[in-house]
Structure 1
Amino acid sequence: MRAATGLLLRTAARLCDAGVRAPSLLPGWSRGHVLTHLARNADGGRRLPSWARTGVRTPLPGPGGAGRADRGGGRARRGRAAPPCLPARLH
């Protein structure tokens, strides 16, 4: 997992603006969408231990919710900031 995460972060760091805006292999998703999705899922994964520890519900955003709106922002991201906090979210 560490090796794959490292490869993802190195690849994302090399993307220029056009590379981030380019289509991914997912229909209708740019590479920026994919990177944003990964970052938001990492955020969600950190919510679960807190939920288990405190009992305070912190569910992941569902389809059409805040998560979808956040991923929409990935379309316009610039290369070096796609998203800037991705490394912190994946570690």
Structure 2
Amino acid sequence: MDGARTGLSEIVPLGDEQRERVRARLRAGHGACPACGSEDLGIGDALFLGFAFLSEPADAYMVGLTCPNPSCPVTYTGIRLRASEFLDQ
């Protein structure tokens, strides 16, 4: 993946290696569900943020996270990462 922007909103499907890089970033930063504290978050796809948020770095993405705890009041959340932190080089 070269990170080329192909449209106004780019959803980037992540592969296994990219998801593992996100997991590593979560572990390094003590990533957990903000509502219940679960650390077993499911990792979804990434959304390029640069088109919508001028205050974000040009290579910023939001990676979707899902809490597996059925009683969690906040099922979906995300983590902002730069492309170099999880996408292929």
Superposition TM-score, scaled by structure 2 size: 0.28
- Structure index of larger Rg: 1
* Structure with greater proportional strand content: 2
Q: Which has the higher contact order (CA 8 A, sep 6+)?
A: 1
Superposition TM-score, scaled by structure 1 size: 0.27
